[in-house]
Chain A
Protein backbone atom coordinates (compact mmCIF):
# COMPACT_ATOMS: atom_id res chain seq x y z
CA UNK A 1 0.00 0.00 0.00
CA UNK A 2 1.72 3.15 -1.09
CA UNK A 3 0.65 6.73 -1.52
CA UNK A 4 1.75 8.71 -4.54
CA UNK A 5 1.58 12.47 -4.41
CA UNK A 6 2.39 14.88 -7.19
CA UNK A 7 0.77 18.26 -6.77
CA UNK A 8 1.16 21.94 -7.52
CA UNK A 9 -0.70 24.55 -5.54
CA UNK A 10 -0.12 28.30 -5.21
CA UNK A 11 0.12 29.83 -1.75
CA UNK A 12 0.67 33.49 -0.88
CA UNK A 13 4.33 34.21 -1.62
CA UNK A 14 5.34 30.80 -2.98
CA UNK A 15 4.15 27.70 -4.69
CA UNK A 16 3.86 24.19 -3.32
CA UNK A 17 5.26 21.86 -5.94
CA UNK A 18 5.93 18.41 -4.55
CA UNK A 19 6.23 14.86 -5.77
CA UNK A 20 6.94 11.96 -3.44
CA UNK A 21 5.92 8.46 -2.62
CA UNK A 22 4.99 7.21 0.82
CA UNK A 23 5.49 3.43 1.12
CA UNK A 24 4.17 1.52 4.14
CA UNK A 25 5.30 2.49 7.62
CA UNK A 26 5.52 6.04 8.86
CA UNK A 27 6.39 8.65 6.25
CA UNK A 28 7.37 11.89 7.94
CA UNK A 29 6.75 15.10 6.05
CA UNK A 30 9.35 17.29 7.68
CA UNK A 31 9.87 21.01 7.27
CA UNK A 32 9.81 24.33 9.05
CA UNK A 33 6.55 26.20 9.61
CA UNK A 34 5.30 27.55 6.31
CA UNK A 35 7.08 24.96 4.18
CA UNK A 36 3.76 23.74 2.81
CA UNK A 37 3.39 20.56 4.88
CA UNK A 38 -0.22 21.14 5.91
CA UNK A 39 -1.17 22.07 2.35
CA UNK A 40 0.14 18.71 1.18
CA UNK A 41 -1.58 16.62 3.87
CA UNK A 42 -4.87 18.51 3.41
CA UNK A 43 -4.68 17.86 -0.32
CA UNK A 44 -4.24 14.15 0.41
CA UNK A 45 -7.21 14.23 2.79
CA UNK A 46 -9.34 16.09 0.26
CA UNK A 47 -9.81 19.15 2.48
CA UNK A 48 -7.96 21.24 -0.08
CA UNK A 49 -8.17 20.99 -3.82
CA UNK A 50 -4.75 21.44 -5.40
CA UNK A 51 -4.51 23.45 -8.57
CA UNK A 52 -2.83 20.67 -10.50
CA UNK A 53 -1.45 17.19 -10.11
CA UNK A 54 -2.64 13.82 -8.94
CA UNK A 55 -2.84 11.78 -5.76
CA UNK A 56 -3.24 8.01 -5.68
CA UNK A 57 -3.42 5.47 -2.88
CA UNK A 58 -2.53 1.86 -3.70
CA UNK A 59 -3.34 2.51 -7.33
CA UNK A 60 -6.72 4.15 -6.69
CA UNK A 61 -6.87 7.74 -7.90
CA UNK A 62 -8.05 10.11 -5.17
CA UNK A 63 -7.42 13.24 -7.16
CA UNK A 64 -6.42 13.95 -10.72
CA UNK A 65 -6.69 17.48 -12.02
CA UNK A 66 -6.42 16.46 -15.67
CA UNK A 67 -8.94 13.64 -15.51
CA UNK A 68 -11.16 15.77 -13.27
CA UNK A 69 -11.25 13.17 -10.55
CA UNK A 70 -11.75 14.47 -7.03
CA UNK A 71 -12.97 11.88 -4.57
CA UNK A 72 -14.90 13.68 -1.77
CA UNK A 73 -13.32 13.72 1.68
CA UNK A 74 -15.73 11.25 3.22
CA UNK A 75 -15.10 8.62 0.55
CA UNK A 76 -11.30 8.69 0.74
CA UNK A 77 -11.21 6.71 3.99
CA UNK A 78 -8.07 8.32 5.35
CA UNK A 79 -8.11 8.72 9.12
CA UNK A 80 -6.98 12.26 9.91
CA UNK A 81 -5.56 13.23 13.30
CA UNK A 82 -5.47 17.01 13.62
CA UNK A 83 -3.11 19.05 15.75
CA UNK A 84 -6.06 20.43 17.72
CA UNK A 85 -7.83 17.11 18.30
CA UNK A 86 -11.22 18.26 17.11
CA UNK A 87 -13.19 15.85 19.25
CA UNK A 88 -16.96 16.22 19.11
CA UNK A 89 -17.83 18.08 22.32
CA UNK A 90 -21.40 16.80 22.45
CA UNK A 91 -20.44 13.12 22.34
CA UNK A 92 -18.90 10.88 24.98
CA UNK A 93 -15.42 9.44 24.44
CA UNK A 94 -17.03 6.14 23.46
CA UNK A 95 -19.25 7.76 20.84
CA UNK A 96 -16.37 9.90 19.57
CA UNK A 97 -14.33 6.72 19.12
CA UNK A 98 -17.08 4.84 17.30
CA UNK A 99 -18.25 7.82 15.24
CA UNK A 100 -16.64 6.63 12.02
CA UNK A 101 -17.58 2.96 12.36
CA UNK A 102 -21.07 3.30 10.90
CA UNK A 103 -19.61 4.88 7.77
CA UNK A 104 -16.97 2.21 7.20
CA UNK A 105 -17.75 -0.22 4.39
CA UNK A 106 -19.15 -3.63 5.37
CA UNK A 107 -16.05 -5.62 4.55
CA UNK A 108 -13.54 -3.28 6.18
CA UNK A 109 -11.61 -4.97 8.95
CA UNK A 110 -9.65 -3.49 11.77
CA UNK A 111 -9.34 -3.46 15.52
CA UNK A 112 -12.51 -3.11 17.60
CA UNK A 113 -13.37 -0.58 20.27
CA UNK A 114 -12.03 -2.68 23.17
CA UNK A 115 -8.79 -3.36 21.37
CA UNK A 116 -8.23 0.29 20.48
CA UNK A 117 -9.22 1.51 23.94
CA UNK A 118 -6.71 -0.95 25.34
CA UNK A 119 -3.97 0.03 22.90
CA UNK A 120 -4.36 3.73 23.68
CA UNK A 121 -5.12 3.40 27.39
CA UNK A 122 -8.64 4.80 27.09
CA UNK A 123 -10.63 2.00 28.75
CA UNK A 124 -11.30 3.90 31.96
CA UNK A 125 -12.54 7.09 30.32
CA UNK A 126 -15.05 5.82 27.75
CA UNK A 127 -18.04 7.45 29.41
CA UNK A 128 -16.42 10.83 29.97
CA UNK A 129 -16.94 13.90 27.82
CA UNK A 130 -14.04 15.44 25.85
CA UNK A 131 -14.34 18.57 28.03
CA UNK A 132 -13.21 16.52 31.03
CA UNK A 133 -10.04 15.17 29.39
CA UNK A 134 -6.46 16.46 29.51
CA UNK A 135 -4.71 17.51 26.31
CA UNK A 136 -2.83 14.25 26.03
CA UNK A 137 -5.95 12.17 26.63
CA UNK A 138 -7.87 14.14 24.01
CA UNK A 139 -5.18 13.45 21.45
CA UNK A 140 -5.20 9.74 22.27
CA UNK A 141 -8.96 9.71 21.69
CA UNK A 142 -8.33 11.45 18.35
CA UNK A 143 -5.90 8.68 17.37
CA UNK A 144 -8.44 6.03 18.34
CA UNK A 145 -11.27 7.78 16.55
CA UNK A 146 -9.30 7.93 13.31
CA UNK A 147 -8.25 4.30 13.69
CA UNK A 148 -11.76 2.98 14.34
CA UNK A 149 -13.11 4.56 11.16
CA UNK A 150 -11.29 1.66 9.47
CA UNK A 151 -9.11 3.90 7.30
CA UNK A 152 -6.80 2.72 4.58
CA UNK A 153 -4.14 5.09 5.87
CA UNK A 154 -3.65 7.51 8.75
CA UNK A 155 -2.82 11.19 8.28
CA UNK A 156 -1.39 13.11 11.20
CA UNK A 157 -0.76 16.84 11.14
CA UNK A 158 1.60 17.74 13.99
CA UNK A 159 -0.46 15.64 16.40
CA UNK A 160 1.87 16.34 19.33
CA UNK A 161 2.69 19.99 18.65
CA UNK A 162 0.05 21.37 21.02
CA UNK A 163 1.28 19.25 23.95
CA UNK A 164 4.00 19.92 26.49
CA UNK A 165 7.12 17.75 26.65
CA UNK A 166 5.77 15.46 29.37
CA UNK A 167 2.56 14.78 27.45
CA UNK A 168 4.57 14.10 24.30
CA UNK A 169 6.64 11.48 26.07
CA UNK A 170 3.42 9.97 27.38
CA UNK A 171 1.94 9.66 23.88
CA UNK A 172 4.94 8.63 21.78
CA UNK A 173 4.93 5.01 23.01
CA UNK A 174 1.24 4.76 22.04
CA UNK A 175 2.10 6.05 18.56
CA UNK A 176 4.87 3.48 18.24
CA UNK A 177 2.42 0.75 19.18
CA UNK A 178 -0.09 2.13 16.71
CA UNK A 179 2.55 1.97 13.99
CA UNK A 180 3.81 -1.50 14.89
CA UNK A 181 0.55 -3.25 15.73
CA UNK A 182 -1.85 -1.92 13.10
CA UNK A 183 0.49 -1.96 10.12
CA UNK A 184 -1.40 1.01 8.66
CA UNK A 185 0.68 3.40 6.60
CA UNK A 186 0.94 6.79 8.27
CA UNK A 187 1.69 10.18 6.76
CA UNK A 188 3.09 12.20 9.63
CA UNK A 189 3.60 15.95 9.35
CA UNK A 190 6.07 17.39 11.83
CA UNK A 191 8.67 20.05 12.38
CA UNK A 192 10.17 18.17 15.31
CA UNK A 193 13.33 16.24 14.45
CA UNK A 194 13.02 14.23 17.65
CA UNK A 195 9.57 12.95 16.69
CA UNK A 196 10.67 12.18 13.15
CA UNK A 197 13.78 10.37 14.39
CA UNK A 198 11.70 8.30 16.73
CA UNK A 199 8.77 7.36 14.50
CA UNK A 200 9.60 7.70 10.83
CA UNK A 201 10.61 4.91 8.49
CA UNK A 202 10.68 7.27 5.50
CA UNK A 203 11.46 10.98 5.61
CA UNK A 204 10.46 13.61 3.06
CA UNK A 205 12.06 17.00 3.71
CA UNK A 206 10.13 20.02 2.48
CA UNK A 207 11.54 23.50 2.08
CA UNK A 208 9.56 26.43 0.69
CA UNK A 209 7.12 24.14 -1.04
CA UNK A 210 9.70 21.78 -2.59
CA UNK A 211 10.97 18.33 -1.70
CA UNK A 212 14.68 18.74 -1.01
CA UNK A 213 15.33 15.16 0.11
CA UNK A 214 13.34 11.95 0.45
CA UNK A 215 14.36 8.45 1.45
CA UNK A 216 14.63 5.92 4.28
CA UNK A 217 14.80 7.63 7.68
CA UNK A 218 18.28 6.32 8.57
CA UNK A 219 19.73 7.69 5.33
CA UNK A 220 18.03 11.07 5.34
CA UNK A 221 18.71 11.77 9.03
CA UNK A 222 22.40 10.90 8.71
CA UNK A 223 22.85 12.96 5.54
CA UNK A 224 25.30 15.81 6.26
CA UNK A 225 23.62 17.89 3.56
CA UNK A 226 20.41 17.90 5.62
CA UNK A 227 22.00 19.31 8.77
CA UNK A 228 20.82 22.81 7.92
CA UNK A 229 17.21 21.67 7.55
CA UNK A 230 17.19 19.73 10.81
CA UNK A 231 19.16 22.39 12.69
CA UNK A 232 22.65 22.07 14.16
CA UNK A 233 21.51 21.15 17.63
CA UNK A 234 19.03 18.55 16.39
CA UNK A 235 21.16 16.93 13.69
CA UNK A 236 22.06 13.32 14.38
CA UNK A 237 21.99 9.79 13.06
CA UNK A 238 19.40 7.12 13.77
CA UNK A 239 20.74 3.59 14.06
CA UNK A 240 18.76 0.36 14.15
CA UNK A 241 19.79 -1.75 17.13
CA UNK A 242 18.96 -4.88 19.05
CA UNK A 243 18.92 -5.17 22.84
CA UNK A 244 21.77 -7.58 23.63
CA UNK A 245 21.84 -7.62 27.41
CA UNK A 246 20.68 -5.83 30.53
CA UNK A 247 23.62 -5.49 32.90
CA UNK A 248 23.38 -5.58 36.66
CA UNK A 249 24.90 -2.10 37.05
CA UNK A 250 21.90 -0.49 35.34
CA UNK A 251 23.27 -0.38 31.82
CA UNK A 252 21.75 -1.90 28.71
CA UNK A 253 24.00 -3.26 26.01
CA UNK A 254 22.85 -2.77 22.43
CA UNK A 255 24.16 -4.49 19.34
CA UNK A 256 24.51 -2.22 16.32
CA UNK A 257 26.11 -3.05 13.01
CA UNK A 258 29.37 -1.37 13.95
CA UNK A 259 29.81 -2.72 17.48
CA UNK A 260 28.25 -2.42 20.90
CA UNK A 261 26.60 0.53 22.63
CA UNK A 262 26.09 0.90 26.38
CA UNK A 263 23.05 2.93 27.35
CA UNK A 264 21.18 3.75 30.53
CA UNK A 265 18.68 1.02 31.47
CA UNK A 266 16.00 0.45 28.86
CA UNK A 267 12.55 -1.10 29.27
CA UNK A 268 12.43 -3.45 26.30
CA UNK A 269 13.34 -7.13 26.81
CA UNK A 270 16.58 -8.65 25.56
CA UNK A 271 16.38 -9.46 21.87
CA UNK A 272 13.94 -6.63 21.13
CA UNK A 273 14.65 -4.46 18.10
CA UNK A 274 14.95 -0.76 18.69
CA UNK A 275 16.49 2.38 17.25
CA UNK A 276 18.87 4.85 18.83
CA UNK A 277 19.32 8.47 17.93
CA UNK A 278 22.81 9.82 18.43
CA UNK A 279 23.06 13.59 18.15
CA UNK A 280 25.97 14.97 16.14
CA UNK A 281 27.14 17.22 18.94
CA UNK A 282 27.38 14.28 21.37
CA UNK A 283 30.00 12.47 19.25
CA UNK A 284 33.73 12.97 19.78
CA UNK A 285 36.11 11.93 17.01
CA UNK A 286 39.50 10.35 17.81
CA UNK A 287 42.19 9.23 15.38
CA UNK A 288 43.24 6.26 17.54
CA UNK A 289 41.49 4.09 20.13
CA UNK A 290 41.43 6.29 23.21
CA UNK A 291 42.62 5.02 26.59
CA UNK A 292 41.83 6.23 30.08
CA UNK A 293 38.54 7.74 29.05
CA UNK A 294 35.28 7.68 30.98
CA UNK A 295 33.16 7.31 27.85
CA UNK A 296 32.01 3.71 27.45
CA UNK A 297 31.17 3.75 23.79
CA UNK A 298 34.04 3.75 21.33
CA UNK A 299 33.06 2.71 17.84
CA UNK A 300 35.62 2.14 15.07
CA UNK A 301 34.75 3.57 11.67
CA UNK A 302 35.95 5.48 8.66
CA UNK A 303 35.36 9.06 7.57
CA UNK A 304 32.91 9.13 4.72
CA UNK A 305 32.58 12.83 4.11
CA UNK A 306 33.31 16.23 5.64
CA UNK A 307 31.05 19.20 5.31
CA UNK A 308 31.89 22.72 6.36
CA UNK A 309 29.32 24.95 7.94
CA UNK A 310 29.21 28.72 8.06
CA UNK A 311 30.76 29.01 11.51
CA UNK A 312 33.84 27.38 12.98
CA UNK A 313 32.24 23.95 12.96
CA UNK A 314 31.93 21.13 10.53
CA UNK A 315 30.00 17.91 10.17
CA UNK A 316 31.83 14.61 9.79
CA UNK A 317 29.98 11.61 8.46
CA UNK A 318 31.43 8.35 9.71
CA UNK A 319 30.72 4.92 8.29
CA UNK A 320 30.36 2.58 11.22
CA UNK A 321 29.46 -0.97 10.20
CA UNK A 322 26.56 -0.57 7.81
CA UNK A 323 25.37 2.57 9.61
CA UNK A 324 26.40 6.17 9.34
CA UNK A 325 27.07 8.45 12.27
CA UNK A 326 27.25 12.22 12.24
CA UNK A 327 29.73 14.12 14.38
CA UNK A 328 29.85 17.87 14.81
CA UNK A 329 33.37 19.07 15.55
CA UNK A 330 35.38 22.24 15.01
CA UNK A 331 37.30 22.86 11.84
CA UNK A 332 40.44 23.27 13.99
CA UNK A 333 40.03 19.70 15.33
CA UNK A 334 39.43 18.35 11.85
CA UNK A 335 42.68 19.88 10.69
CA UNK A 336 44.60 18.69 13.75
CA UNK A 337 43.37 15.11 13.17
CA UNK A 338 43.96 15.48 9.43
CA UNK A 339 40.51 14.11 8.74
CA UNK A 340 39.80 13.16 5.17
CA UNK A 341 37.47 10.71 3.46
CA UNK A 342 38.69 7.16 4.01
CA UNK A 343 40.64 7.86 7.19
CA UNK A 344 40.02 5.42 10.04
CA UNK A 345 38.69 7.06 13.17
CA UNK A 346 36.92 6.23 16.41
CA UNK A 347 33.60 7.74 17.40
CA UNK A 348 33.30 8.29 21.14
CA UNK A 349 29.86 8.67 22.72
CA UNK A 350 29.06 9.24 26.39
CA UNK A 351 26.48 6.76 27.66
CA UNK A 352 24.48 9.33 29.56
CA UNK A 353 24.25 11.71 26.61
CA UNK A 354 21.65 9.44 25.04
CA UNK A 355 18.37 10.38 26.61
CA UNK A 356 15.61 7.86 27.14
CA UNK A 357 13.48 9.76 24.64
CA UNK A 358 16.13 9.18 21.98
CA UNK A 359 15.58 5.46 22.21
CA UNK A 360 12.54 4.22 20.38
CA UNK A 361 10.76 0.96 19.93
CA UNK A 362 12.18 -0.54 16.75
Chain B
Protein backbone atom coordinates (compact mmCIF):
# COMPACT_ATOMS: atom_id res chain seq x y z
CA UNK B 1 0.00 0.00 0.00
CA UNK B 2 2.74 2.43 1.00
CA UNK B 3 4.55 1.44 -2.18
CA UNK B 4 1.63 2.46 -4.28
CA UNK B 5 0.97 5.68 -2.39
CA UNK B 6 3.72 8.21 -1.81
CA UNK B 7 4.59 8.95 1.86
CA UNK B 8 2.82 12.29 1.69
CA UNK B 9 -0.28 10.71 0.19
CA UNK B 10 -0.27 7.87 2.74
CA UNK B 11 0.05 10.46 5.50
CA UNK B 12 -3.08 12.24 4.25
CA UNK B 13 -5.08 8.99 4.10
CA UNK B 14 -4.02 7.92 7.60
CA UNK B 15 -4.72 11.37 9.00
CA UNK B 16 -8.17 11.47 7.44
CA UNK B 17 -9.08 8.07 8.87
CA UNK B 18 -7.82 9.11 12.30
CA UNK B 19 -9.66 12.44 12.21
CA UNK B 20 -12.92 10.88 11.01
CA UNK B 21 -12.90 7.99 13.48
CA UNK B 22 -12.28 10.32 16.39
CA UNK B 23 -14.89 12.76 15.12
CA UNK B 24 -17.57 10.08 14.86
CA UNK B 25 -16.51 8.15 17.97
CA UNK B 26 -16.61 11.16 20.22
CA UNK B 27 -19.72 12.76 18.80
CA UNK B 28 -21.84 9.58 18.59
CA UNK B 29 -22.94 9.44 22.26
CA UNK B 30 -23.74 13.14 22.09
CA UNK B 31 -25.67 12.60 18.84
CA UNK B 32 -27.75 9.87 20.47
CA UNK B 33 -28.47 12.12 23.45
CA UNK B 34 -29.41 15.06 21.22
CA UNK B 35 -31.57 12.86 18.99
CA UNK B 36 -33.32 11.38 22.06
CA UNK B 37 -33.95 14.84 23.49
CA UNK B 38 -35.39 16.11 20.20
CA UNK B 39 -37.51 12.99 19.66
CA UNK B 40 -38.82 12.36 23.16
CA UNK B 41 -38.49 15.31 25.48
CA UNK B 42 -40.50 18.49 25.66
CA UNK B 43 -38.50 21.39 26.95
CA UNK B 44 -38.14 25.08 26.42
CA UNK B 45 -35.67 26.03 23.71
CA UNK B 46 -36.18 22.75 21.84
CA UNK B 47 -36.58 24.59 18.54
CA UNK B 48 -33.47 26.63 19.29
CA UNK B 49 -31.44 23.48 20.00
CA UNK B 50 -32.75 21.95 16.80
CA UNK B 51 -31.68 25.05 14.89
CA UNK B 52 -28.21 25.18 16.40
CA UNK B 53 -27.59 21.50 15.66
CA UNK B 54 -28.59 21.97 12.04
CA UNK B 55 -26.69 25.22 11.57
CA UNK B 56 -23.48 23.65 10.17
CA UNK B 57 -25.58 22.00 7.49
CA UNK B 58 -26.88 25.34 6.23
CA UNK B 59 -24.03 27.76 6.91
CA UNK B 60 -21.22 28.06 4.38
CA UNK B 61 -18.45 25.75 5.74
CA UNK B 62 -16.04 28.68 5.66
CA UNK B 63 -18.27 30.50 8.13
CA UNK B 64 -18.38 27.47 10.44
CA UNK B 65 -14.61 27.20 10.21
CA UNK B 66 -14.11 30.86 10.99
CA UNK B 67 -16.51 30.68 13.95
CA UNK B 68 -14.52 27.70 15.23
CA UNK B 69 -11.34 29.70 14.86
CA UNK B 70 -12.87 32.57 16.83
CA UNK B 71 -14.14 30.27 19.57
CA UNK B 72 -11.48 27.58 19.75
CA UNK B 73 -8.39 29.47 18.55
CA UNK B 74 -5.63 29.81 21.15
CA UNK B 75 -6.94 33.28 22.00
CA UNK B 76 -10.57 32.30 21.68
CA UNK B 77 -12.67 32.02 24.88
CA UNK B 78 -13.09 28.23 24.66
CA UNK B 79 -9.71 27.47 23.13
CA UNK B 80 -7.96 29.28 25.98
CA UNK B 81 -9.83 27.30 28.63
CA UNK B 82 -9.17 23.98 26.90
CA UNK B 83 -5.47 24.72 26.69
CA UNK B 84 -5.18 25.88 30.30
CA UNK B 85 -7.26 23.15 31.90
CA UNK B 86 -6.63 20.13 29.68
CA UNK B 87 -3.55 21.18 27.77
CA UNK B 88 -5.55 20.53 24.62
CA UNK B 89 -4.73 22.70 21.62
CA UNK B 90 -7.12 22.59 18.71
CA UNK B 91 -6.05 25.40 16.35
CA UNK B 92 -3.83 24.18 13.50
CA UNK B 93 -3.69 20.65 14.96
CA UNK B 94 -5.33 17.39 13.86
CA UNK B 95 -7.53 17.59 16.97
CA UNK B 96 -9.03 20.77 15.52
CA UNK B 97 -9.65 18.98 12.24
CA UNK B 98 -11.50 16.29 14.20
CA UNK B 99 -13.62 18.93 15.94
CA UNK B 100 -14.48 20.61 12.63
CA UNK B 101 -15.37 17.22 11.08
CA UNK B 102 -17.48 16.25 14.11
CA UNK B 103 -19.39 19.51 14.01
CA UNK B 104 -20.11 19.20 10.29
CA UNK B 105 -21.17 15.56 10.63
CA UNK B 106 -23.29 16.10 13.75
CA UNK B 107 -26.57 17.22 12.10
CA UNK B 108 -26.51 14.26 9.68
CA UNK B 109 -25.92 11.75 12.47
CA UNK B 110 -28.57 13.29 14.72
CA UNK B 111 -31.17 13.25 11.94
CA UNK B 112 -30.66 9.57 11.18
CA UNK B 113 -30.77 8.56 14.85
CA UNK B 114 -33.75 10.79 15.58
CA UNK B 115 -35.79 9.09 12.84
CA UNK B 116 -34.90 5.71 14.36
CA UNK B 117 -35.96 6.82 17.85
CA UNK B 118 -39.24 8.19 16.56
CA UNK B 119 -39.96 4.79 15.01
CA UNK B 120 -39.64 3.01 18.37
CA UNK B 121 -43.04 2.39 19.94
CA UNK B 122 -43.04 4.08 23.38
CA UNK B 123 -45.45 1.34 24.47
CA UNK B 124 -42.55 -1.11 24.43
CA UNK B 125 -40.63 1.18 26.76
CA UNK B 126 -43.68 1.40 29.02
CA UNK B 127 -43.88 -2.37 29.09
CA UNK B 128 -40.23 -2.57 30.13
CA UNK B 129 -40.88 -0.11 32.95
CA UNK B 130 -43.79 -2.20 34.27
CA UNK B 131 -41.37 -5.14 34.41
CA UNK B 132 -39.13 -3.21 36.78
CA UNK B 133 -36.65 -1.51 34.46
CA UNK B 134 -35.59 2.02 35.40
CA UNK B 135 -35.31 4.66 32.67
CA UNK B 136 -31.64 3.98 32.10
CA UNK B 137 -32.23 0.23 31.85
CA UNK B 138 -35.16 0.74 29.49
CA UNK B 139 -32.89 2.76 27.24
CA UNK B 140 -30.05 0.25 27.34
CA UNK B 141 -32.13 -2.91 26.93
CA UNK B 142 -35.00 -1.79 24.71
CA UNK B 143 -34.50 1.57 23.02
CA UNK B 144 -30.84 1.25 22.09
CA UNK B 145 -31.07 -2.24 20.56
CA UNK B 146 -34.13 -1.14 18.58
CA UNK B 147 -32.48 2.00 17.18
CA UNK B 148 -29.17 0.26 16.44
CA UNK B 149 -29.71 0.18 12.65
CA UNK B 150 -30.36 3.93 12.74
CA UNK B 151 -27.30 4.55 14.89
CA UNK B 152 -25.14 2.59 12.46
CA UNK B 153 -26.57 4.45 9.49
CA UNK B 154 -26.00 7.77 11.25
CA UNK B 155 -22.45 6.88 12.19
CA UNK B 156 -21.55 5.88 8.63
CA UNK B 157 -23.15 9.00 7.23
CA UNK B 158 -21.20 11.05 9.74
CA UNK B 159 -17.99 9.17 8.92
CA UNK B 160 -18.42 9.85 5.20
CA UNK B 161 -19.12 13.51 5.87
CA UNK B 162 -16.05 13.73 8.11
CA UNK B 163 -13.84 12.09 5.46
CA UNK B 164 -14.99 14.66 2.92
CA UNK B 165 -14.91 17.79 5.09
CA UNK B 166 -13.01 20.60 3.40
CA UNK B 167 -14.15 24.17 3.98
CA UNK B 168 -14.42 24.32 7.75
CA UNK B 169 -11.23 22.32 8.18
CA UNK B 170 -9.03 24.47 5.94
CA UNK B 171 -10.40 27.64 7.53
CA UNK B 172 -10.02 26.47 11.14
CA UNK B 173 -6.80 24.44 11.09
CA UNK B 174 -5.25 25.39 7.73
CA UNK B 175 -3.53 22.92 5.41
CA UNK B 176 -0.41 21.60 7.14
CA UNK B 177 0.97 18.34 5.69
CA UNK B 178 1.10 15.63 8.34
CA UNK B 179 -0.82 17.74 10.83
CA UNK B 180 -4.04 18.99 9.28
CA UNK B 181 -3.80 18.04 5.61
CA UNK B 182 -6.66 15.54 5.32
CA UNK B 183 -7.54 13.61 2.17
CA UNK B 184 -9.64 16.31 0.44
CA UNK B 185 -7.10 18.97 1.37
CA UNK B 186 -4.30 16.82 -0.05
CA UNK B 187 -6.20 16.27 -3.31
CA UNK B 188 -6.76 20.00 -3.56
CA UNK B 189 -3.07 20.70 -2.89
CA UNK B 190 -1.85 18.17 -5.46
CA UNK B 191 -4.12 19.73 -8.05
CA UNK B 192 -2.45 23.10 -7.45
CA UNK B 193 1.05 21.88 -8.33
CA UNK B 194 2.17 20.96 -11.84
CA UNK B 195 2.44 17.17 -12.24
CA UNK B 196 0.34 16.47 -9.16
CA UNK B 197 -2.50 14.91 -11.17
CA UNK B 198 -1.27 11.37 -10.61
CA UNK B 199 -1.15 11.71 -6.82
CA UNK B 200 -4.54 13.43 -6.82
CA UNK B 201 -6.08 10.61 -8.84
CA UNK B 202 -4.63 7.96 -6.52
CA UNK B 203 -6.16 9.76 -3.54
CA UNK B 204 -9.48 10.05 -5.36
CA UNK B 205 -9.39 6.27 -5.82
CA UNK B 206 -8.71 5.82 -2.09
CA UNK B 207 -11.62 8.14 -1.28
CA UNK B 208 -13.99 6.13 -3.42
CA UNK B 209 -12.75 2.84 -1.96
CA UNK B 210 -13.10 4.00 1.65
CA UNK B 211 -16.58 5.36 0.98
CA UNK B 212 -17.71 2.13 -0.69
CA UNK B 213 -16.25 0.01 2.10
CA UNK B 214 -17.93 2.06 4.80
CA UNK B 215 -21.26 1.86 3.00
CA UNK B 216 -21.02 -1.91 2.56
CA UNK B 217 -20.07 -2.54 6.19
CA UNK B 218 -22.93 -0.36 7.40
CA UNK B 219 -25.40 -2.08 5.05
CA UNK B 220 -24.44 -5.50 6.39
CA UNK B 221 -24.52 -4.37 10.02
CA UNK B 222 -27.80 -2.51 9.62
CA UNK B 223 -29.43 -5.44 7.85
CA UNK B 224 -28.35 -7.79 10.59
CA UNK B 225 -29.59 -5.41 13.28
CA UNK B 226 -32.88 -4.78 11.47
CA UNK B 227 -33.51 -8.51 11.22
CA UNK B 228 -32.96 -8.85 14.94
CA UNK B 229 -35.26 -5.95 15.69
CA UNK B 230 -38.02 -7.22 13.42
CA UNK B 231 -38.09 -10.35 15.57
CA UNK B 232 -37.70 -12.70 12.61
Question: A interface vs B, CB < 8 Å?
Answer: 45, 47, 72-80, 82, 84, 86-90, 99-100, 103-104, 129-132, 145-146, 149, 155
Q: Which residue of A lies closest to B125 (CB)?
A: A86
A45 lies within 8 A of B130 (CB): yes
B230 to A100, Cβ gap below 8 A?
no
CB of A146 within 8 A of CB of B123, answer no
Report Cα–Cα, A87/B229, bound state, in Å.
Answer: 11
CA A130 to CA B131, docked complex, whole Å? 17
- Please state if B137 and A47 are interface contacts (CB–CB under 8 Å): no
6 more A-B contacts (CB under 8 A) besides A86-B126, A100-B131, A103-B133? Answer: A74-B130, A77-B132, A99-B131, A100-B132, A103-B132, A132-B232
B221 to chain A, nearest CB (A): 15
Per the 8 Å Cβ criterion, residues 196-232 of B in contact with A are 228-232
Q: When chains A and B are docked, how far (Å) is the Cα of A130 from the Cα of B141?
A: 16
In the assembled complex, B129 has its CB within 8 A of some CB on chain A: yes
Q: Is the CB of A74 within 8 A of B123?
A: no
Contact status B124-A88, CB under 8 Å = yes
Whether B126 and A99, one on each chain, are in contact in the complex, defined by CB atoms closer than 8 angstroms, is: no
- Main SS of chain A's interface residues? mixed
- B80 at interface, CB cutoff 8 A: no
Provided the pairs A86-B127, A88-B124, A103-B137 are in contact, do residues A149 and B229 lie with their beta carbons within 8 angstroms?
A: no
B128 touches A88 (CB 8 A): yes
Closest residue of A by beta carbon distance from B142:
A88
Contact status A47-B126, CB under 8 Å: yes
With known contacts A131-B231, A132-B231, A132-B232, A86–B123 Cβ distance under 8 A: yes
Q: Are A99 and B141 in contact (CB under 8 A)?
A: yes
B85 CB to nearest chain A CB (Å): 37
Which residue of B is nearest A130, CB measured?
B231
Chain A's closest residue to B138 (CB) is: A74
Is B130 touching A78 in the complex (CB atoms < 8 A)?
Answer: yes
B164 near A: Cβ within 8 Å?
A: no
Is there an interface contact between B232 and A73, defined as CB atoms closer than 8 Å? no
21 examples of A-B residue contacts, CB within 8 angstroms: A47-B126, A72-B134, A73-B126, A73-B130, A74-B130, A74-B137, A78-B130, A80-B130, A86-B126, A86-B127, A89-B230, A89-B231, A90-B229, A99-B141, A103-B137, A129-B232, A131-B230, A131-B232, A146-B130, A149-B130, A155-B130
Which residues 128-183 of B have a CB within 8 angstroms of A? Answer: 128-135, 137-138, 141-142, 145-146
Residue numbers of B with Cβ under 8 A of A are 121, 123-124, 126-135, 137-138, 141-142, 145-146, 228-232
Chain B residues whose CB sits within 8 angstroms of the CB of A73 once the complex forms: 126, 129-130
Max chain B C-beta neighbours (<10 A), residue from A73, A75, A87: A73
Are A74 and B132 touching (Cβ within 8 A)? yes
Q: Which of A78, A87, A90, A100 has the most CB of B within 10 A?
A: A90
A90 engages B123 (CB within 8 Å): no
Taken together as a complex, chains A and B put the C-alpha atoms of A89 and B125 apart, in Å, by 12
Q: Please, which residue of chain A has its CB at the minimum distance from the CB of B226? A: A90
By a CB distance below 8 angstroms, the chain B residues around A130 are 231
Q: Across the interface, do A149 and B231 meet the contact criterion of CB distance under 8 Å?
A: no
With a 10 A CB-CB cut-off, give which of B127, B142, B145 has the most chain A CB atoms: B127
Contact A145 B131 (CB under 8 A): yes
Known contacts A47-B126, A82-B127; A90 and B133 CB within 8 A of each other: no
Q: Which residue of B lies closest to A142 (CB)?
A: B127
Contact check, A80 vs B230: say whether CB atoms are below 8 A apart. Answer: no
**Which chain B positions have C-beta within 8 A of A146?**
130-131
- Determine whether the beta carbon of B128 is less than 8 Å from that of A99: yes
Considering residues A78, A88, A145, which has the most beta carbons from chain B within 10 angstroms of its beta carbon? A88
Instruction: Say whether A90 contacts B130, CB under 8 Å.
Output: no
Please measure, in the bound complex, the distance between the C-alpha atom of A103 and the C-alpha atom of B130, giving whole angstroms. 10
